[in-house]
Amino acid sequence: MATYLFYDTIRLNRSAGGVLNVSEVLLRSMRLSPDDQVQPVSERHPFVYEAARRLRISRFVLDILLYNFHRVRAWFSGERMFSLFPNYFLPFSPFGRHTDSIVVVHDLQYKSHPQYFTPVKRWWLDWNLRRLARSAADVVFISRSSQEDFERHFARCARPAVIFNPVDAGPGGRSRENAADGARTQGDRYLIAAYHYYPHKNFGGILKLFERMKREGLVDHLDITGNGAAEIERMIAAQAPALRGSVRHRGLVPRDELFRLYRGATAFISLSTSEGFNLSAAEAATLGVPLLLSDIPVHRELFSGYAFFIGGERCDLAPVGRYLAEHHRTRPTWQHSRDCVPSAVAASYFTLKRRPAPLTEAMQ
């Protein structure tokens, strides 16, 4: 039996957002394995983790210290131990090329939108991702598009893999019919935008498309969840008075409430200018909700044949109306829903290290 040490130190970063959600779902799923032991470092070293939290020690420093400690310990004990880092950072080590490591790369937002990152942050990311490309770690990309972005800027990794994010759609899965029918009976036709505010999410474009759809009688409201209420309110204040009352920012909502909002929505909308995966869209698709998405590579990769792609601000709304009606009539299934079941994703991670490794490779 191998031991997987899951570096959940990303929890020390309060602004981790969707990456933290993915990390927690992956950890829960992997811990259900009967064949391997999976333990988060916060549980293995509770006092060290709590001290780091209280003293605001960087997760990078903590990862470096714990990773090298466990490498030396495994070398002396002969224990088969692997380390999983859920967000791009591969700790420095004088002991080999990290063949015992798995590192997840989500996206390269800082390359698409450098204006939103400081020069120091961009240098730090460049340096770390170059190190990752030269390592012998298993590097997991959350989509083929994310891998292609990486390879456009850095070298191809020695051991790359594409594993989609785990999607936890809650109890009941696809059973959206009753909730959706109830929402329509009440006459509350709404779009749902369920994600935090970031510039690349293009809320300005969402408001413009919503205004046109409302004018055409396709929807009545736009519901927004997540952080960023102040930024959203400023954008709404600039809209016409008739539109302001139709946009509802619900803030952070419990998961059960979020799933209820998904199921009752006329459609989920995301007009992001770049994404590594788009977890919210995947959650909605898993529940059978229609998707209105920007026409970017990762959306084409994941949602072709299921979503409607918005080509620009002045797109023709007649095809949108036909898509929504057809979707409601046929209720299609998202083709990647099974690939993103958390247990299936966890199994894919385990296959990366299933082959036996000689003890002589432990320090490589």
Residues 6 or more apart whose Cβ sits within 8 Å of residue 227: 17, 196, 197, 251, 252
The count of C-alpha atoms lying within 13 angstroms of the C-alpha of 156, restricted to the half-sphere facing its C-beta, is 7
Helical residues (DSSP H) of 31-118, grouped into ranges = 41-44, 46-55, 59-77, 109-112
Which residue, chain included where needed, has tokens 């003890």? 359
Q: What pLDDT does 172 receive?
A: 59
The count of C-alpha atoms lying within 13 angstroms of the C-alpha of 145, restricted to the half-sphere facing its C-beta, is 17
d(CA 251, CA 269): 17
Radius of gyration for the alpha carbons in the chain, expressed in angstroms and rounded: 22
pTM, two decimals, is 0.90
Q: Is 28 in contact with 342 (CB distance < 8 Å)?
A: yes
DSSP 3-state assignment of 321? Answer: helix
- pLDDT truncated to tens, each residue of the chain (364 aa)? 889 999 999 999 877 777 888 999 999 999 999 989 999 999 999 999 999 999 999 999 999 999 999 999 999 998 899 999 999 999 999 887 899 999 999 999 999 999 989 999 999 999 999 999 999 999 999 999 999 999 999 999 999 999 999 999 876 565 545 444 444 445 689 999 998 888 889 999 999 999 999 999 999 999 999 887 788 888 888 877 778 889 988 988 999 999 999 999 999 999 999 999 999 999 999 999 999 999 999 999 999 999 999 988 788 999 999 999 999 999 999 999 999 999 999 999 999 987 544 443 444 4
Q: Residue 167: name the closest of 70, 262, 241, 59 by CA.
A: 262
Q: What pLDDT does 173 receive?
A: 61
Partners of 53 in beta bridges: none
Q: What pLDDT does 355 receive?
A: 53
Q: Is 100 in contact with 362 (CB distance < 8 Å)?
A: yes
Residue ranges, CATH 3.40.50.2000, the chain: 177-330
Specify the fold of 3-166+342-358. Answer: Rossmann fold (3.40.50)
HEC secondary structure over 233-290: HHHHHCCCHHHHCCEEEEECCCHHHHHHHHHHCCEEEECCCCCCCCHHHHHHHHCCCC
Architecture in CATH for domain 177-330: 3-Layer(aba) Sandwich (3.40)
Integer angstrom CA distances of residue 86 from 5, 10, 22, 104: 11, 8, 9, 5
CB atoms within 10 A of CB 126: 14
DSSP 3-state assignment of 222? Answer: strand
Integer angstrom CA distances of residue 13 from 16, 60, 115, 166: 6, 10, 21, 21
Q: Is 80 in contact with 2 (CB distance < 8 Å)?
A: yes
